[in-house]
Protein backbone atom coordinates (compact mmCIF):
# COMPACT_ATOMS: atom_id res chain seq x y z
CA UNK A 1 0.00 0.00 0.00
CA UNK A 2 1.28 3.42 -0.91
CA UNK A 3 0.95 5.66 2.12
CA UNK A 4 1.73 9.28 2.87
CA UNK A 5 2.60 10.12 6.44
CA UNK A 6 2.47 13.10 8.72
CA UNK A 7 5.72 15.00 8.74
CA UNK A 8 5.47 16.38 12.24
CA UNK A 9 4.03 15.14 15.50
CA UNK A 10 4.05 18.29 17.56
CA UNK A 11 0.34 17.84 18.27
CA UNK A 12 0.75 14.20 19.19
CA UNK A 13 3.89 14.16 21.31
CA UNK A 14 6.12 16.40 23.33
CA UNK A 15 5.09 15.51 26.87
CA UNK A 16 7.19 13.32 29.13
CA UNK A 17 4.79 13.32 32.10
CA UNK A 18 2.56 10.43 31.17
CA UNK A 19 -1.04 10.52 32.35
CA UNK A 20 -2.36 7.81 30.02
CA UNK A 21 -1.11 4.25 30.40
CA UNK A 22 -0.51 2.11 27.30
CA UNK A 23 -1.72 -1.47 27.09
CA UNK A 24 1.68 -2.93 28.06
CA UNK A 25 3.96 -2.61 31.08
CA UNK A 26 6.28 0.32 30.47
CA UNK A 27 8.77 -1.16 32.95
CA UNK A 28 9.30 -3.91 30.39
CA UNK A 29 9.44 -1.66 27.30
CA UNK A 30 12.29 -2.76 25.04
CA UNK A 31 11.99 -1.26 21.58
CA UNK A 32 12.42 2.42 20.82
CA UNK A 33 8.80 2.44 19.68
CA UNK A 34 7.56 1.09 23.02
CA UNK A 35 9.66 3.65 24.87
CA UNK A 36 8.16 6.40 22.69
CA UNK A 37 4.65 5.17 23.51
CA UNK A 38 5.47 5.19 27.22
CA UNK A 39 6.66 8.79 26.88
CA UNK A 40 3.59 10.26 25.18
CA UNK A 41 -0.02 10.50 26.30
CA UNK A 42 -1.19 10.68 22.70
CA UNK A 43 0.73 7.61 21.57
CA UNK A 44 -0.35 5.69 24.68
CA UNK A 45 -3.97 6.50 23.86
CA UNK A 46 -3.50 5.15 20.32
CA UNK A 47 -1.90 1.99 21.74
CA UNK A 48 -4.88 1.41 24.02
CA UNK A 49 -7.27 1.87 21.11
CA UNK A 50 -5.45 -0.58 18.85
CA UNK A 51 -5.39 -3.15 21.65
CA UNK A 52 -9.11 -2.65 22.31
CA UNK A 53 -9.99 -3.10 18.64
CA UNK A 54 -7.71 -6.13 18.30
CA UNK A 55 -9.33 -7.87 21.28
CA UNK A 56 -12.81 -7.18 19.93
CA UNK A 57 -11.82 -8.52 16.52
CA UNK A 58 -10.20 -11.63 18.04
CA UNK A 59 -13.26 -12.39 20.16
CA UNK A 60 -15.42 -12.93 17.09
CA UNK A 61 -13.19 -15.06 14.84
CA UNK A 62 -11.70 -18.53 15.08
CA UNK A 63 -9.63 -21.05 13.19
CA UNK A 64 -7.75 -19.79 10.17
CA UNK A 65 -9.31 -16.35 10.45
CA UNK A 66 -8.01 -15.97 14.01
CA UNK A 67 -4.57 -17.25 13.01
CA UNK A 68 -4.50 -14.69 10.22
CA UNK A 69 -5.47 -11.88 12.61
CA UNK A 70 -2.73 -12.89 15.07
CA UNK A 71 -0.14 -13.03 12.29
CA UNK A 72 -1.17 -9.62 11.02
CA UNK A 73 -0.91 -8.18 14.52
CA UNK A 74 2.56 -9.64 15.00
CA UNK A 75 3.59 -8.20 11.65
CA UNK A 76 2.18 -4.83 12.59
CA UNK A 77 4.10 -4.81 15.90
CA UNK A 78 7.28 -5.67 14.02
CA UNK A 79 6.67 -2.79 11.61
CA UNK A 80 5.97 -0.39 14.46
CA UNK A 81 9.16 -1.46 16.22
CA UNK A 82 11.17 -0.74 13.07
CA UNK A 83 10.16 2.92 13.15
CA UNK A 84 13.61 3.77 14.51
CA UNK A 85 14.75 3.43 10.89
CA UNK A 86 12.23 5.91 9.51
CA UNK A 87 13.31 9.22 8.03
CA UNK A 88 10.03 10.62 9.36
CA UNK A 89 11.27 10.44 12.92
CA UNK A 90 10.37 7.84 15.51
CA UNK A 91 7.27 9.45 17.02
CA UNK A 92 5.73 10.36 13.68
CA UNK A 93 6.27 6.87 12.29
CA UNK A 94 4.83 5.23 15.41
CA UNK A 95 1.74 7.45 15.35
CA UNK A 96 1.07 6.60 11.74
CA UNK A 97 1.54 2.89 12.34
CA UNK A 98 -1.17 3.09 15.00
CA UNK A 99 -3.49 5.21 12.84
CA UNK A 100 -3.37 2.84 9.91
CA UNK A 101 -3.76 -0.22 12.16
CA UNK A 102 -6.92 1.34 13.59
CA UNK A 103 -8.19 1.75 10.03
CA UNK A 104 -7.35 -1.86 9.12
CA UNK A 105 -8.97 -3.38 12.21
CA UNK A 106 -12.15 -1.34 11.91
CA UNK A 107 -12.41 -2.04 8.19
CA UNK A 108 -11.64 -5.75 8.33
CA UNK A 109 -13.51 -6.92 11.44
CA UNK A 110 -17.14 -6.03 12.11
CA UNK A 111 -16.87 -6.89 15.81
CA UNK A 112 -14.19 -4.21 16.22
CA UNK A 113 -16.97 -1.69 15.60
CA UNK A 114 -19.38 -2.92 18.28
CA UNK A 115 -18.28 -0.95 21.36
CA UNK A 116 -17.39 2.48 20.03
CA UNK A 117 -18.50 4.28 23.19
CA UNK A 118 -15.50 2.69 24.95
CA UNK A 119 -12.91 3.96 22.47
CA UNK A 120 -11.73 6.96 20.50
CA UNK A 121 -12.33 5.84 16.91
CA UNK A 122 -15.34 5.44 14.66
CA UNK A 123 -16.02 4.29 11.13
CA UNK A 124 -15.29 3.23 8.56
CA UNK A 125 -17.60 5.43 6.62
CA UNK A 126 -17.46 5.98 2.88
CA UNK A 127 -16.74 9.18 1.03
CA UNK A 128 -18.61 9.10 -2.27
CA UNK A 129 -17.00 11.90 -4.27
CA UNK A 130 -18.29 13.45 -7.49
CA UNK A 131 -16.07 12.63 -10.45
CA UNK A 132 -13.93 10.17 -8.48
CA UNK A 133 -14.09 6.55 -9.61
CA UNK A 134 -13.26 4.90 -6.27
CA UNK A 135 -15.00 4.81 -2.91
CA UNK A 136 -12.87 6.31 -0.15
CA UNK A 137 -12.98 4.68 3.28
CA UNK A 138 -12.57 7.04 6.24
CA UNK A 139 -12.04 6.40 9.93
CA UNK A 140 -12.01 9.19 12.49
CA UNK A 141 -9.70 9.00 15.52
CA UNK A 142 -11.08 11.36 18.18
CA UNK A 143 -8.12 11.18 20.54
CA UNK A 144 -5.98 13.85 22.20
CA UNK A 145 -4.69 14.65 18.73
CA UNK A 146 -7.63 13.94 16.39
CA UNK A 147 -7.00 12.49 12.95
CA UNK A 148 -8.88 11.35 9.90
CA UNK A 149 -7.52 8.26 8.15
CA UNK A 150 -8.56 7.80 4.52
CA UNK A 151 -7.91 4.85 2.24
CA UNK A 152 -8.71 4.17 -1.41
CA UNK A 153 -7.27 1.77 -3.95
CA UNK A 154 -3.69 1.16 -2.72
CA UNK A 155 -3.32 4.60 -1.16
CA UNK A 156 -3.89 6.01 2.32
CA UNK A 157 -3.45 9.27 4.19
CA UNK A 158 -3.59 10.26 7.85
CA UNK A 159 -4.57 13.89 8.36
CA UNK A 160 -4.38 15.78 11.67
CA UNK A 161 -7.22 17.98 12.84
CA UNK A 162 -6.78 21.74 12.42
CA UNK A 163 -8.90 24.61 13.79
CA UNK A 164 -11.92 25.67 11.77
CA UNK A 165 -14.87 27.97 12.32
CA UNK A 166 -17.49 25.28 11.70
CA UNK A 167 -17.54 21.59 10.92
CA UNK A 168 -14.27 19.69 11.19
CA UNK A 169 -11.11 20.09 9.14
CA UNK A 170 -8.07 17.86 8.74
CA UNK A 171 -5.08 18.74 6.62
CA UNK A 172 -1.36 18.31 5.99
CA UNK A 173 1.07 19.66 3.41
CA UNK A 174 3.66 16.97 4.19
CA UNK A 175 2.93 14.50 1.40
CA UNK A 176 5.23 13.76 -1.50
CA UNK A 177 2.61 14.64 -4.10
CA UNK A 178 1.37 17.81 -2.40
CA UNK A 179 -1.07 18.95 0.26
CA UNK A 180 -4.15 16.99 1.27
CA UNK A 181 -7.21 18.03 3.26
CA UNK A 182 -10.64 16.92 4.41
CA UNK A 183 -13.47 19.20 5.55
CA UNK A 184 -16.65 17.71 6.95
CA UNK A 185 -19.94 19.25 8.03
CA UNK A 186 -22.83 16.92 8.66
CA UNK A 187 -22.88 14.37 5.87
CA UNK A 188 -21.17 16.68 3.38
CA UNK A 189 -17.41 16.76 2.82
CA UNK A 190 -14.70 18.30 0.68
CA UNK A 191 -11.66 16.10 0.11
CA UNK A 192 -8.42 16.99 -1.63
CA UNK A 193 -6.13 14.01 -2.30
CA UNK A 194 -2.38 14.71 -2.19
CA UNK A 195 -1.59 16.94 -5.14
CA UNK A 196 -5.12 16.59 -6.54
CA UNK A 197 -8.14 18.82 -7.03
CA UNK A 198 -10.73 19.32 -4.31
CA UNK A 199 -13.65 16.87 -4.55
CA UNK A 200 -17.21 17.39 -3.38
CA UNK A 201 -18.26 14.31 -1.41
CA UNK A 202 -21.02 12.75 0.64
CA UNK A 203 -20.33 10.81 3.84
CA UNK A 204 -22.21 7.52 3.71
CA UNK A 205 -22.55 4.67 6.17
CA UNK A 206 -21.03 1.33 5.26
CA UNK A 207 -23.76 -1.04 4.16
Stated pTM of the model? 0.86
> What's the rounded mean pLDDT across residues 153-175?
89
| CATH, residue 131 | 2.40.128.200
In this prediction, residue 92 carries a pLDDT of 82
Q: How far apart are CA 37 and CA 48, in angstroms?
A: 10
- Are 171 and 159 contacting, i.e. CB atoms less than 8 angstroms apart? yes
| Per-residue pLDDT tens over the stretch 34-64 | 999 999 999 999 999 999 999 999 999 999 9
In this prediction, residue 195 carries a pLDDT of 87
pLDDT band with cut points at 50, 70 and 90 for residue 19: low
**Nearest residue to 146 (alpha-carbon basis) of 55, 73, 26, 49:** 49
In this prediction, residue 17 carries a pLDDT of 41
Domain carrying residue 124: 2-205
| Per-residue pLDDT tens over the stretch 65-121 | 999 999 999 999 999 999 999 887 899 889 889 999 999 999 999 999 999 999 999
Q: What is the mean pLDDT of the chain?
A: 88
Q: Considering its fold, how many domains does the chain have in total? A: 1
Strands 2-4 and 155-162 come out as parallel
Q: Which letter, b or e, does each residue of 45-72 get, where b requires 16 or more Cβ atoms within 10 Å of its Cβ?
A: bbbbbbebbbebbbeebeeeeeeebeeb
User: Would you say residue 124 has pLDDT above 60?
Assistant: yes
In this prediction, residue 207 carries a pLDDT of 65
> What's the rounded mean pLDDT across residues 4-10?
42
Amino acid sequence: MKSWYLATLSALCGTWALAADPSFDCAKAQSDAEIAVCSSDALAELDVEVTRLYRLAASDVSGERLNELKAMQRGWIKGRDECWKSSLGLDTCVANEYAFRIMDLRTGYANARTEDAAGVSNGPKVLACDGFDAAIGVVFVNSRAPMAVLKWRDMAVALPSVPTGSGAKYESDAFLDGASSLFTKGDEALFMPPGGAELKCRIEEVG
